[in-house]
């Protein structure tokens, strides 16, 4: 009680009172989800199409030697797109929460801690959007061009 009585009108208490609205682990997870999915998608489709388009002697062919590789690559691309969009939605939720936390209820100044969380959420949104565009760009040749262009 004595602590509350000694506070002045300019004392804001905790330096980032709304920071608990966006957890650290959720912020890191949302920042890394879409780029990780993009990297895994790129590695998976390059590996599978490379394996599927080689003849038993090692020379490149225009036909798929593994019948299951085409559907697997398509499903990998669909899953990557869904996870990338989920990561983007998660970063948008973090942006909204961090924006609400950064908006002081009394009209006072924003704290440095809340500002960092808000800009980290904004950076996560930017990275997620770039990653989703890259996932789409990686998927276009597979759906339109086929798997084994020679």
Q: Among 54-58, 83-87, 100-104, whose mean pLDDT is lowest?
A: 100-104
Q: Among 76-80, 91-95, 97-101, 128-132, whose mean pLDDT is lowest?
A: 97-101
| Averaged pLDDT, 50-68 | 75
Residue 111: pLDDT above 80?
no
Give residue-wise pLDDT tens across range 120-145: 888 889 999 999 999 999 888 877 87
Instruction: Note whether 123 and 31 are within 8 A (CB).
Output: yes
Number of neighbouring beta carbons within 10 Å of residue 61: 14
Is residue 98 classed exposed, middle or buried when 0-12, 13-18 and 19+ CB atoms within 10 A define those classes?
buried
User: Which pLDDT score is estimated for 143?
Assistant: 78
| Averaged pLDDT, 12-26 | 61
| Averaged pLDDT, 65-73 | 82
Reported as a pLDDT band with limits 50, 70 and 90, residue 68 is confident
pTM of the model: 0.72
| Averaged pLDDT, 48-68 | 76
User: Which pLDDT score is estimated for 126?
Assistant: 93
User: Which pLDDT score is estimated for 66?
Assistant: 77
Instruction: Note whether 119 and 25 are within 8 A (CB).
Output: no
């Amino acid at each position: 009680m004595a602590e509350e009585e000694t506070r002045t009108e300019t004392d804001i208490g905790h330096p980032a009172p709304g920071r608990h609205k966006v957890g650290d682990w959720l912020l890191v997870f949302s920042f890394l989800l879409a780029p990780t999915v993009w990297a895994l998608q790129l590695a998976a489709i390059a590996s599978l199409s490379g394996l599927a388009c080689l003849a038993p002697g090692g020379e490149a062919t225009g036909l798929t030697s593994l019948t299951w590789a085409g559907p697997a690559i398509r499903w990998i691309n669909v899953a990557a797109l869904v996870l990338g969009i989920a990561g983007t939605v998660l970063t948008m939720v973090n942006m909204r929460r961090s924006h609400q936390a950064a908006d002081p209820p009394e009209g006072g100044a924003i704290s440095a801690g809340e500002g960092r969380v808000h800009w980290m959420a904004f950076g996560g949104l930017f990275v997620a959007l770039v990653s989703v565009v890259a996932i789409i760009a990686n998927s276009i040749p597979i759906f339109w061009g086929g798997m084994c262009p020679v």
